Structure 1
Amino acid sequence: MRTVIFTLVLILMPSAFALAKVQTQAISYQHGEVQLEGILAWDDSITGKRPGILVVHEWWGLNDYARDRARQLAQLGYVAFAADMYGKDKITVHPDQAGAWMKQVQANVSQWQARAIKGLAVLRSQEQVDPKNIAAIGYCFGGATVIQLAYSGEEIKGAVSFHGALPLPIGKQATKVKTKILIAHGNADPFQKEDHIRKFRNALDKANVDWQMVFYAGARHSFTDPGADARGMDALKYDQAADVRSWKHMQLFFDEIFLTP
């Protein structure tokens, strides 16, 4: 009888495991007159509330790369929301168009921050999310966006910028920061000059911000994006070692902010 029961368990187990997988859902929301649509990702085998992670896309828009990062976070046990910073279906592969959309958002810093906060509100409202345990990560333009989110004074546990622009705080913005910051930066990134990085660090230090910055030797801009080499821009290059290392550094950072009392 025990052999029969054990056999039945083995037969049934694959079906049970098949039900436990990452789910995704498109969520529409609005900022002013702009219609936005983000992607929520979560593992339905996990019960109860868990930390939520906001994901902010590169300057190309909310493409498959940002969506995949949300799914990867869900596989780690988080609920991730890949926010939309441009507008529904505004995705491009052309640098000129990407730059124009990015500059349009960045032109008004308070509105830039407000749009990121809208995405954060969507994440916090999800039933699977512990609203007191929230972090944000971003890539390229998204990295600058999560820094702006920190400057806004939002109550989040952490902000992670991957090969992001490092916007200098305006006025006393840095004194509003209530979160820890991790910056994953390519040491060969031509977009961020050493003098600018020094000014950025000094501004955070002056405001007593809890920050850390990891440099990856030889890594250029967009070092986490496997599609970077196909963009036709010499400044962009995928770096597998830097990609893997930075993802691990993010996980260590999350362990610190979510698991440390």
Structure 2
Amino acid sequence: MTTTPTTVTTRTVEYPADGLTMVGHLALPAGSGRCPGVLIGPEGPGLNDFQRRRADALAELGYAALAFDINGGRWFTDPQEMLAYVNPLLASPDRMRDIGHAALDVLRAEPRTDPDRIAGIGYGTGGAILLELGRDGVDLRAIGTVNALTTGRPGEAAHIRCPVWAGVGSEDPIMPAAQRDAFTAEMQSAGVDWRLTVYGGAQHAFHHPTVAQTLLPGVGHHPQHAERAWRDVVDLLSECVPVAE
């Protein structure tokens, strides 16, 4: 366990999911009382220090934050190897739900977490996993995603019980306009309280400088929009699961 100068405490947590030993990063705020929780889902390459720092930043704001793992502690540096792992996962809602439920169980079991006040934010594959938790009827306070406009099995979006915010780059070829339309149509027809923010000129993974260094086409970092997307995520949490309630 480590302690930051702002008294945020962090620790690595290992837990089973999808036939793997997942290696997550838990960050807790100062104090001893219960606080709202946030699940943070990483991109397809895996969990790295970028998302761990996001968990730490949310803990500084007063949240118990778990940056969860999706691939057994690995960080894929080869884009084709990453796609060979991620694409089958994205094609299996049940596998995604299993990974999400396992992480949720870890966060709920943390004594500092208020189990009735948990939200989820996710990026790419991690966002798709959180959307599947929503479609599975999990009682989350909010779901926020960046670069994850995935649609689910017919009719299951009606099980989503919380507001959904999604952010995407206008020049993202992986989440093009047709995918945006399909996602918003699904949310609207299901009666979900949804919002979509399109960041002009941004490509896929615009928020993440490390992922943006991959050789995949249509991937690129956009520092200004990255900061805006983070503020949008924090605003969503402040609205739907405030620290002081």
TM-score (norm 2): 0.92
- The equivalent of 1:116 in structure 2 is 100
Structure 1: which 5+ residue stretches go unaligned?
1-16
SS of match in other structure, 2:182: helix
Is 1:183 equivalent to 2:166 in the alignment? yes
| 1:158 to partner: Cα distance | 0.5
Please list every run of 5 or more consecutive structure 2 residues that lacks an aligned counterpart in the other structure.
none
| Alignment length (residue pairs) | 242
Secondary structure of the residue that 1:60 maps to in structure 2? coil
- 2:11 counterpart residue number: 25
Q: Which amino acid aligns with 1:127?
A: P
* Cα deviation, residue 201, structure 1: 0.8
Shift in Å, 1:230: 2.3
Residue matched to 1:157? 141
SS of the aligned residue for 2:166 comes to strand
Q: For 2:70 and 2:18, how far apart are their aligned partners in 1?
A: 12
Distance 1:20 1:191 in 2: 38
User: Counterparts of 1:62 and 1:161 in 2: how far apart (Å)?
Assistant: 16
Tell me, in whole angstroms, the C-alpha distance in 1 between the residues paired with 2:179 and 2:212.
26
Task: Tell me which of the two structures has the higher relative contact order, counting C-alpha pairs closer than 8 angstroms and 6 or more residues apart.
Answer: 2
Query: 1:32 and 1:238 mapped to 2: Cα distance?
Result: 30
CA offset at residue 152 of structure 1? 1.2
Query: What SS does structure 2 have at the residue aligned with 1:97?
Result: helix
Task: Among all aligned residue pairs of Structure 1 and Structure 2, give the percentage whose two residues are the same amino acid.
Answer: 27
Letter in 1 for 2:85: W
Are the structure 2 counterparts of residues 35 and 227 from structure 1 closer, same or farther at C-alpha, using a change threshold of 3 Å? closer
Letter in 2 for 1:202: A
TM-score when scaled to structure 1? 0.87
Larger radius of gyration: 1
Residue number in structure 1 paired with 2:202:
219
Quick check: 1:37 aligned with 2:23? yes
Q: How far 1:48 sits from its partner (Å)?
A: 0.9
Distance 1:177 1:20 in 2: 35
**In structure 2, the residue corresponding to 1:147 is in which secondary structure?**
helix
Task: Give runs of aligned pairs for residues 137-176 of structure 1, distance below 5 A.
Answer: 137-164=121-148, 166-176=149-159
Question: Superposition RMSD on alpha carbons, in Å?
Answer: 1.9
In 1, Cα distance between equivalents of 2:194 and 2:218:
26
For the 8 Å contact 1:86–1:105, the answer to whether it is kept is no
Task: Tell me what 1:100 maps to.
Answer: 84
- Mark the CA change 1:233 to 1:46 in structure 2 (over 3 Å): closer, same or farther: same
Choose the corresponding residue for 2:51, options 66, 82, 87: 66
Query: Is this contact kept in 2: 1:148–1:167, CA < 8 A?
Result: no
Q: Partners in 2 of 1:48 and 1:98 — Cα distance? A: 39
Bigger shift: residues 196-205 or 53-62: 196-205
Does the C-alpha gap of structure 1 residues 174 and 50 become closer, same or farther in structure 2, counting only changes over 3 Å?
same
Runs of 4+ in 1 over 3 A off after TM superposition: 17-20
Larger helix proportion, structure 1 or 2? 1
